[in-house]
């Protein structure tokens, strides 16, 4: 079975959305899952499509960016489809995992993602080593401590003098919610 997936980020992209659906229909997609949501949010129709496909099916998308939000995300989808015995066709890149060349392209994309991840981890290790050398590495909590949390003793002292939470927030340059959090943790009434 040919299963299509189409997505646009906003409802304003009607023409692009309709074009995707039309292309999928012309290619013979028997079932098309579509949605108009951002790539970064939840995509229930993509999940439904990935759950729906079975061994021997082919999932078709018009463009890679309609399917995956990143190389890593593409790899996750690719592995999920591979595990189910489903082939993938990405029209704009000519990827068709039913062919040796298409499968190679998909595997190259997956290899690049792995390479990117290893580079990221290596840069992270170098950065941590440099921070430790400068005495700036904070162990479990990397980075500087939150500003508001450092001011909690002042919050409590100012409140005990009778100052109102909104006045404390203004004076210390922190949010009211941070003031209330400090008071709550210290069990001081607001």
Examine residue 127 and state whether it is found in any structural domain, yes or no: no
Considering the domain architecture, whether residues 49 and 107 belong to the same structural domain is answered as: yes
Higher confidence at residue 34 or residue 141? Answer: 34
Three-state DSSP class for 94? coil
Q: What is the pLDDT of residues 32-58, one digit of tens each?
A: 998 988 877 889 999 999 999 999 999
Q: Supply the pLDDT for residue 89.
A: 94
Examine residue 34 and state whether it is found in any structural domain, yes or no: yes
Considering the domain architecture, whether residues 155 and 108 belong to the same structural domain is answered as: no
Considering the domain architecture, whether residues 87 and 171 belong to the same structural domain is answered as: no
Q: Supply the pLDDT for residue 142.
A: 58
- Our CA dihedral for 74, 76, 82, 85, rounded to 10 degrees, sits at -100
Q: Which domain holds residue 177?
A: 147-185
Q: What is the pLDDT of residues 67-107, one digit of tens each?
A: 888 878 888 899 999 999 999 999 988 889 988 888 888 88
- Of 57, 91, 112, the residue that ends a domain is 112
Tokens 């012309």 found at: 26
Considering the domain architecture, whether residues 159 and 65 belong to the same structural domain is answered as: no
Say how many domains are in the chain. 2
pLDDT interval class at 12 (50, 70, 90): low
Considering the domain architecture, whether residues 14 and 76 belong to the same structural domain is answered as: yes
- Of 53, 88, 112, the residue that ends a domain is 112
Tokens 């941590």 found at: 128
Q: What is the mean pLDDT of the chain?
A: 86
Distance CA 116, CA 37 (A): 27
Catalytic pick from 9, 166, 177, 178? Answer: 9
Mean pLDDT of 1-9: 91
Distance CA 167, CA 172 (A): 9
pLDDT interval class at 27 (50, 70, 90): very high
- In the predicted structure, residue 139 carries a pLDDT above the cut 70: no
Considering the domain architecture, whether residues 171 and 96 belong to the same structural domain is answered as: no
Considering the domain architecture, whether residues 19 and 100 belong to the same structural domain is answered as: yes
pLDDT interval class at 143 (50, 70, 90): low
Considering the domain architecture, whether residues 37 and 89 belong to the same structural domain is answered as: yes
Examine residue 27 and state whether it is found in any structural domain, yes or no: yes
Share of the chain above pLDDT 70, in %: 93
Residue 9 annotated to the active site: yes
| Cα 187 → chain centroid | 37
Distance CA 39, CA 11 (A): 13
């Amino acid at each position: 079975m040919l299963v299509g997936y189409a997505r646009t980020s906003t409802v304003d992209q009607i023409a692009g959305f309709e074009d995707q659906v039309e292309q999928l229909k012309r290619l013979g997609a028997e079932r098309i899952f579509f949605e108009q949501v951002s790539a970064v949010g939840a995509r229930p129709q993509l999940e439904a499509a990935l759950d729906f496909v079975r061994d021997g099916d082919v999932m078709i998308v018009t463009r890679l960016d309609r399917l995956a939000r990143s190389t890593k995300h593409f790899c996750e989808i690719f592995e999920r489809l591979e595990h189910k015995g489903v082939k993938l066709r990405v029209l704009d890149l000519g990827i068709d995992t039913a062919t040796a060349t298409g499968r190679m392209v998909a595997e190259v994309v997956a290899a690049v993602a792995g390479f990117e991840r290893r580079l990221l981890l290596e840069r992270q290790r170098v950065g941590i080593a440099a921070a430790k050398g400068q005495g700036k590495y904070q162990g479990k909590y990397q980075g500087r401590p939150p500003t508001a949390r450092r001011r909690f003793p002042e919050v409590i002292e100012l409140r005990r003098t009778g100052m109102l939470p909104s006045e404390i927030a203004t004076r210390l340059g922190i949010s009211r919610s941070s003031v209330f959090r400090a008071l709550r943790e210290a069990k001081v009434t607001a």
